[in-house]
Structure 1
Amino acid sequence: MTQSQPTVTPKLEEPKFGFSEYAERLNGRAAMIGFALTLVIEYATGQGVLEWLGLG
């Protein structure tokens, strides 16, 4: 006896929370913007981030 293969692929919903492709892409873009702004602040002020925050 052979089993028949499904003919329709189920359509899965995108998760509402947690790890999803959209959330990971958004988080990555926010991290890149934050890193670039940190470099701009360091260049403009001549101080490192810790000095700028008063911790160094």
Structure 2
Amino acid sequence: MQSRPSTDLPPVASAYNGKDRNAFLFGWNPQAELWNGRLAMIGFTAYLLWDLAGFSVVRDILHLVGY
């Protein structure tokens, strides 16, 4: 049985543009889209927890406008 070093990427991970898809690269690239999605999920979860704790930004804005 032959083992690979752990630093080798599987062929699927670098197939799109030849770079590690989990690397944090600046600019318009597939990695940016992955990080954007991950950070959006963290932000959505953080806001959901904040809202469940009773601090609702949306409810406060609706209250200010008169709804």
Q: TM-score range by the shorter chain?
A: 0.5 to 0.7
Match of 1:50 in 2: 58
Q: Is the 8 A contact 1:42 1:48 kept in 2?
A: yes
Unpaired runs of at least 5, structure 2: 1-16, 20-24, 63-67
* Whole-angstrom CA distance in 2 between matches of 1:49 and 1:40: 12
Taking structure 1 as the reference length, the TM-score comes to 0.54
Kindly name which structure, 1 or 2, has the bigger radius of gyration based on alpha carbons.
1
Gapped regions of structure 1 (runs ≥ 5): 1-11
Relative to its length, the structure with more helix (as a share) is: 1
**For each residue in 1:14-47, what CA deviation from the matched residue of structure 2 results, as whole angstroms up to 9, or x when unmatched?**
78622x11100110011000110111011111x5
Instruction: Give aligned-pair identity as a percent.
Output: 32
Q: TM-score, normalised by structure 2?
A: 0.47
Task: Quote the Cα distance in structure 1 between the aligned partners of 2:26 and 2:51.
Answer: 37
Going from structure 1 to structure 2, the CA distance change for 1:16 and 1:28 (only over 3 Å counts) comes to closer
Q: 2:18 & 2:49 partners in 1: Cα distance?
A: 40
Q: CA deviation at 1:55?
A: 1.0
What is residue 38 of structure 1 aligned with on the other side?
47
